Structure 1
Amino acid sequence: MATQLPYALIFDMDGVLIDNTPYQAKAFQLLFRDLGLTTNARRLLVHLNGMPATNILKTVFRNPVPEKQLKEYSSQREFLYRVLYWDKRKEMPGLSHFLQAARKAGFKIGLGTSSPPETISYIIDHLNLRQYFDVIVGKEDVDKGKPHAETFTVVAQKLGVPPEQCVVFEDAILGEQAAYKAGMRCIAVSSGVKPEQFQAPLHIIRDFSGLTPEQVRELLEQNPATPKPSKQLARRDYMKL
């Protein structure tokens, strides 16, 4: 008798493990003000959240900016974000309880984020969440960040679980697209995006309160097909980054 393959849960970090999107937006807005830009950061992040910060910044300048300068702006934004969020760090309601239950239920658990190691540590070590993850993949571990599939593909490979057995928890439109590109299904976390703005998630949650591994397993078994990435989103210029 064949042994059933395990399911894997793959989590994005910002907006999923923590509800920090307003602070991310405020940090971008302060940077834009300093640079004399009028871009609305909250509106921008609805469409571009999930991408590496340097790629987001590429979209707000009319003329090309050298990569070194973009990295400096990104570091400035990161500093502003940490100052703003320093005393506000806390996990999404119900997260630890859900992660504990998922491990007990036999799920493999991975983290796939566009953040660098020091930013990952700033969140998950401060909140003592590292213990729950079998694999952690960040910006330094991939060549192409979201909306490319590589982040989630690498997590699945390291977990030893095929894409069709993985479900991604994402709060961003581009993160959902990255999941579908990787051949995975998605549960959306509506912390920064309205539920109707997602394409085709298995389920939409505001946080992890009341969510159980049994519910996730049922959703996966009842919805075996992976949606195709949205052609409409794929036509957007920022999807070429």
Structure 2
Amino acid sequence: MQKAFLFDLNGTMIDDMEYHIRAWHSILNGLGAHLTYEETKLQCYGKNHELLERTFPGRFTLAEKDAMSVEKEKQYQQAFGPHLKLIDGLDVLMNEAKQANIPMAIGSAAIMFNIDFVLDGLDLRSYISAVVSADDVTISKPHPETFLKCAEKLGVAPADCIVFEDSPKGVEAAAAAGMKAVVITTMHEEHEFAVYNNIIGFIKDYSSLSLSSL
């Protein structure tokens, strides 16, 4: 039995990545990026500020990036709010983990404005013992800092953590941290993870998972 579960948030606990991509697609193209939906999807990893810098190198000040980041999250929350729910079966798995005293953390490139939106909207604070957000790391995924800080906060060795992720960049971060990963295929297909050897399983949702299977 692993000693801790580390969850990415968007696309992993809630099936919301389409709403993030739509929001960024609108904002980036409004700024002159001329990106397709698929091109925007490929950029949707890491911190908001990093995404803006990748798309428009050196164009915006930190204050401008802060403002655009919040505006993007407001658009996302307004669109996704009516659909906010955990991915099927995750509530059962989290209840089982809590009963078994397995600590759980969220390690996400999201800002706390968005993490609070989910934690409070779904009443999850009693399950989550630690949170590492975009504001808590110097370098976001695929760098391992996010997941290593989760393990540190929980007081668990990295090798004793299972990471739940939906993106190749997230699985790469888990591998760099020395952690196994379960991949949920909400936005990416299995073949996109072929280069990673730390994956212990692929799932469409959590209904097929139990503590004994992990």
Could you state the TM-score of these two structures normalised by the residue count of structure 2? 0.91
Aligned residues: 210
Asked if 1:210 corresponds to 2:205, the answer is no
Query: Which whole-Å CA distance do the structure 2 matches of 1:79 and 1:118 have between them?
Result: 9
Query: Which whole-Å CA distance do the structure 2 matches of 1:43 and 1:94 have between them?
Result: 31
8 Å contact from structure 2 (residues 4, 156) kept in 1: yes
Query: Which whole-Å CA distance do the structure 1 matches of 2:37 and 2:170 have between them?
Result: 18
Query: Which whole-Å CA distance do the structure 2 matches of 1:6 and 1:205 have between them?
Result: 18
Asked if 1:113 corresponds to 2:98, the answer is no
- 1:157-203 deviations in Å (ceiling 9; x for gaps): 11111011111001111111111111111111111111110133110
Structure with the greater alpha carbon radius of gyration: 1
1:173 corresponds to: 168
Q: Which runs of 5+ in 1 are unaligned?
A: 217-241
Query: Which whole-Å CA distance do the structure 1 matches of 2:2 and 2:55 have between them?
Result: 42
Asked if 1:12 corresponds to 2:14, the answer is no
| Identity between Structure 1 and Structure 2 (%) | 28
1:39 corresponds to: 35
Moved over 6 A (4+): none
Aligned counterpart in structure 2 of residue 137 of structure 1, from 100, 113, 132: 132
Asked if 1:88 corresponds to 2:83, the answer is yes
Query: Which whole-Å CA distance do the structure 2 matches of 1:203 and 1:48 have between them?
Result: 25
Q: Which runs of 5+ in 2 are unaligned?
A: none
Asked if 1:148 corresponds to 2:146, the answer is no
Asked if 1:67 corresponds to 2:65, the answer is no
Give SS of 1:135's match.
strand
Superposition deviation, residue 6 in structure 1: 5.5
Give SS of 1:125's match.
helix
Could you state the TM-score of these two structures normalised by the residue count of structure 1? 0.81
